Structure 1
């Protein structure tokens, strides 16, 4: 009887699946103008952080995909092979790569033609890097998740992407991990291990609250839990906290799947009804197509004030 009850409970559990994606590879804080030692080489501590992130993903068995900004492969006008080596290490770990434009442009701000040029520039090294492994770029992630504010530009861009072999990489679990990462980076500079530990612990709790929020919205809109797509960034915080976050997700019943697997769900073929100026979850976009009221979008968990202050950010 006990075994039958346990089997019945297990059968009634929702099918929780999640794809993990990372923006701003090879590393979020590697901006082209970043002053670096040794003629622009990657600092050793950054390489250490990158290795910890890759190791955490590999050890957790997460088939993650990272989205590359081409401009981060350059420093002071010079191409940096050591930055490409970070992408090589990512691929060697069995992880995937996609296009995030060359310069992280805002589609809403620069317009269609400039945005298309930046997408093609974004594959200058990505395409040959993947070709050496018998692969081609298949996924494109919009910077800021801003996808255009009028139907004509959005349709034209979707056609352009299809013609170049791309699919748009959606996100359902949006968050402000970049704020937490900025706070974490400040504690690294200050050598404040106590605050750093608190940040890691509270960050995992915050991320699980975000996941739970979008679970509820998925159930409200679709009547079931859609396979989620989580957006993170390649940064020091996730290098140190992902193992704990992965454990928390598994403890909540999640299985890690690829972006390809997650987006096979029919929900991802639903119309995107959002034409606003902000980046937002695809669950909210699908809700906009159904003209859901404002109450549907409320109640998102927010970043605590002490983290905002530590990061030096006024608001989310």
Structure 2
């Protein structure tokens, strides 16, 4: 009897909010140390990553900080790519297309000349909040604007509530005064976070199989934060144990499914591209069943209501 072909699992990894999520709330020496930890994790993992930059996080009082720009150099020197995430992490649905496109251009004032030093130019754009427009016309206008400036939209298929875990980790790390309790809570978060994220990858693989009939090369969303600075290499090892190959974003997007683009969903949220495509096919609510949930104790630590 012939054996069934093994599932071809591929995943591209992207990290948003460079140089650091909530950079303005962290003292400079602490930020430098945590950034160093994340870069060490990226080196240990040895996989390609695209990082998406908010240039307002490079600044203090309107001035670009050289040490923050040096953090972007570290990404490029490590062989990774950088993309545009708007200047100020604006919500397209809140500010409108004109203000949003202005913010995209403002978000490349450092990035474009920086990449030119490496012989490249910005080619990836990631929507903040994954909000891509509430009508086909708005999405088409934004896509045309991005294409005219050399950008390709970087989708997300493996969406998640990683931001809640990250908020909990940051609150404990910076706010728990008792050292023993702090380390115990941080360890509990790390131990819970990794299986949550890997279970989310499994969930979106099942949705891909349901919607497309095969395992789509996925695009995974993470953020530049202290939690991923402690766990990134473990996350990569986890998906590799599941049989995934980590590929570049460009390689993942060669799959023809991505030609569907970001259309299909006209609501206020920013869903996974798989969910956009499911909406275009009028899939029932049952399609979304079984998504892993953030435990209540994590939400409590994050200060986020159920």
Q: TM-score, normalised by structure 1?
A: 0.92
Classify the secondary structure of the residue corresponding to 1:12.
Answer: coil
1:24 counterpart = 2:9: no
* Among candidates 228, 236, 257, match of residue 267 of structure 1: 257
1:154 counterpart = 2:139: yes
1:165 counterpart = 2:158: no
Partner of 2:274: 283
Q: TM-score, normalised by structure 2?
A: 0.95
> Structure 1: where are the runs of 5+ without partners?
37-42
1:145 counterpart = 2:130: yes
1:199 counterpart = 2:199: no
Classify the secondary structure of the residue corresponding to 1:255.
Answer: strand
1:82 counterpart = 2:92: no
Matched-pair contact (CA < 8 Å) for 2:124–2:154: yes
Classify the secondary structure of the residue corresponding to 2:83.
Answer: strand
1:236 counterpart = 2:229: no
Classify the secondary structure of the residue corresponding to 2:37.
Answer: helix
Partner of 2:302: 311
Stretches of 4+ moved more than 3 A in 1? none
Partner of 2:242: 252
Matched-pair contact (CA < 8 Å) for 2:170–2:226: yes
Classify the secondary structure of the residue corresponding to 1:24.
Answer: strand
* Among candidates 86, 96, 107, match of residue 92 of structure 2: 107
Classify the secondary structure of the residue corresponding to 1:188.
Answer: helix
TM superposition shift of 1:12:
2.4
RMSD across aligned C-alpha pairs, in angstroms?
1.4
Distance 2:237 2:224 in 1: 19
The 1:35/1:240 distance shift into structure 2, 3 A limit, reads closer
Matched-pair contact (CA < 8 Å) for 2:45–2:232: no
* Among candidates 206, 213, 223, match of residue 216 of structure 1: 206
Partner of 2:291: 300
1:57 counterpart = 2:42: yes
Distance 2:203 2:271 in 1: 14
* Among candidates 118, 124, 127, match of residue 133 of structure 1: 118
The 1:35/1:180 distance shift into structure 2, 3 A limit, reads closer
TM superposition shift of 1:187:
2.0
TM superposition shift of 1:305:
0.4
> Structure 2: where are the runs of 5+ without partners?
none
